[in-house]
Amino acid sequence: MAKELQLSVLDQSPVSTGSTPAQSLQNSIALARKVDQLGYRRFWMSEHHAMDTLACTAPEILLARIGAETKQIRLGSGGIMLPHYTPLKVAEVFRTLHALYPGRIDLGIGRAPGGGPMEALALKRDRNTRMLDDFPDQVTELLAFLDSDFPQQHPFARIRVSPHMPGVPDVWMLGSSLWSASSAAEFGLPYAFAHFFSGESSRAAIETYQHRFTPSRYRSGPEAMVAVGVICAPTQEEADYLATSVRLLQWRIRQGDRSPIASPEAAQRELSLLGNPASESGEWPRYFVGTPEKVRGELEQMAAALGISEIVVNTIVWDHATRLRSYELLAGEFDLKASTDESFEPQISAV
């Protein structure tokens, strides 16, 4: 019998035309509260740098606030771009989050820069040398710090990552390529594929991961999920109308344009002037658009084809209230188990 499909959320703090990045961060907090109440499994924040389109540059800071505003949803990074940081610092940050919200923290790590070449250069501490491509070594070191598992003779074996307490953040490998799929399999880590970013190799990446997976202390078997774009509305016509904003966004990104999210009206005008460029092809669309019933059927078909039991939903539309409604409609269609505790009030710490 197939497992019930679980739904999670990836938020990028999208900035709409006429709004501000500060408001986008407040919208992310409000969204986290909403999807926690609706019964989504995870809420992950992305890391992007120097973009007018996306406001979240420091997911760890947003997660610290969101943890105090939510009750049961797992919180994580989607992801931390590890080449910019030392493994010890990342371990300290996420052990701090784990101490505040034990049993709820995911640490998603990625290899991508989260920005362009200039931003990557600006994030480097030493700009006189080429950036090392040592991601596997970084992952190995990060896991050793989190697990206090350096060989006894290793000089770092004497370092005790604080705050030390039982348990550990759940580490996920993120990616949008066959390389990341193979790396996740080799480390025996769970894997999240960014289908909404690049959907052409989704099946190949998931199958590569599943076939090459090596059991580890982290997972005895492969655990994969895909992150997809979703826009739900009461009618197909409205959903298609709302999706014009993200269609224009995708075209702009391919041109190197990182402008804020356009309204549907403005997006329609601009797309028309561009000759209504075709969407990128693939086995599945990067964005699933339509009524909740239609979207559910398409997500379940994709999950069954890939042999996965969890999908991460990323919704970008111009209007924040409409974005909240999309997540609510999808939760209702999947009959997610909403929180019934009306007495919960935000706390400074979950401990």
What tokens appear for 179 in the block? 């390389």
Question: CA–CA separation, 334 vs 243, rounded Å?
Answer: 21
Chain centroid, CA 114 distance in Å:
12
Report cis status (omega within 30 of 0) of the bond before 163: yes
What tokens appear for 84 in the block? 């910019």
Q: Is residue 108 part of a domain?
A: yes
Question: CA–CA separation, 308 vs 306, rounded Å?
Answer: 6
Q: What does the mean pLDDT of the chain come to?
A: 91
The CATH code of the domain that includes 260 is 3.20.20.30
Q: Is residue 192 part of a domain?
A: yes
**H or E stretch including 15?**
none
Question: CA–CA separation, 195 vs 199, rounded Å?
Answer: 4
Assess whether pLDDT exceeds 50 at residue 319. yes
* Tally of CB atoms within 10 A around 201: 17
pLDDT of residue 112: 79
How many domains does one find in the chain?
Answer: 1
* Tally of CB atoms within 10 A around 92: 16
Query: Which tens digits make up the pLDDT trace of 11-67?
Result: 999 999 999 999 999 999 999 999 999 999 999 999 988 889 999 999 999 999 999
Structural domain boundaries enclosing 13: 6-334
Query: Which tens digits make up the pLDDT trace of 260-275?
Result: 999 999 999 999 999 9
Report the SS3 class of residue 174: strand
Q: Is residue 321 part of a domain?
A: yes
Helical pair 135-147 and 178-187, crossing angle rounded to 10 deg: 30
Q: Is residue 342 part of a domain?
A: no
Question: CA–CA separation, 76 vs 106, rounded Å?
Answer: 4
Q: Is residue 250 part of a domain?
A: yes
Q: Is residue 340 part of a domain?
A: no
Report the SS3 class of residue 8: strand
What tokens appear for 61 in the block? 């800071």
Residue type (1 letter), 285: P
Pseudo-torsion of CA 288, 292, 297, 302, nearest 10°?
30
Q: Is residue 42 part of a domain?
A: yes
Residue 347's pLDDT band (cuts 50, 70, 90): very low
Q: Is residue 241 part of a domain?
A: yes
Residue 117's pLDDT band (cuts 50, 70, 90): confident
